[in-house]
Amino acid sequence: MVGILCLFIDLTINEQLIIFLISSIATILLLRKWFSKILWKRRHSTELLEDEFLGKTAKALTAILPGENGKVDFKGTTWQAASDDTIEKGENVIIIGNESILLLVKSTKHL
């Protein structure tokens, strides 16, 4: 904006700085809601996490007992997991939910 004004009007450096500051603040105030929607959409991607994990099969790397966490392999990555079922090492499990980075799983034997 300042560059366009300088083409038509002879402005001092101080006037250019003032115009730049005013236009920058106005732009931030006008586009703040739009930018925040875009940024918050990326930060709160729990729906994407649920779509990617829920109902998928993983493999227990350790035994998982009720009340105790274990580890599962899902898509080549090791995850902490918890279950209400007793799950043996090497058993296939289904992901039924998550609590932050802890996967909630259940045994495929009970299906």
Q: What's residue 98's pLDDT?
A: 85
pLDDT given at position 110: 67
Q: Nearest to residue 2, comparing CAs of 27, 21, 22, 19?
A: 19
pLDDT, one tens digit for every residue, the chain (111 residues): 677 877 888 889 999 999 999 999 998 888 888 877 776 665 554 555 566 888 999 999 999 999 899 999 999 999 999 999 899 999 999 999 888 889 999 988 866
Do 67 and 84 reside in the same domain of the chain? yes
Q: Are 103 and 52 contained in the same domain? A: yes
Task: Work out how many domains the chain is built from and give that number.
Answer: 2
Instruction: Enter the pTM of the model.
Output: 0.56
d(CA 85, CA 72): 14
What are the C-alpha distances in Å from 20 to residues 7, 99, 100? 15, 46, 43
Do residues 29 and 66 share a domain? no
- Kindly state whether residues 97 and 53 are assigned to the same domain: yes
Give the range of the structural domain holding residue 29, as residue numbers without chain letter: 2-43
CATH number of the domain that 98 lies in? 2.40.50.140
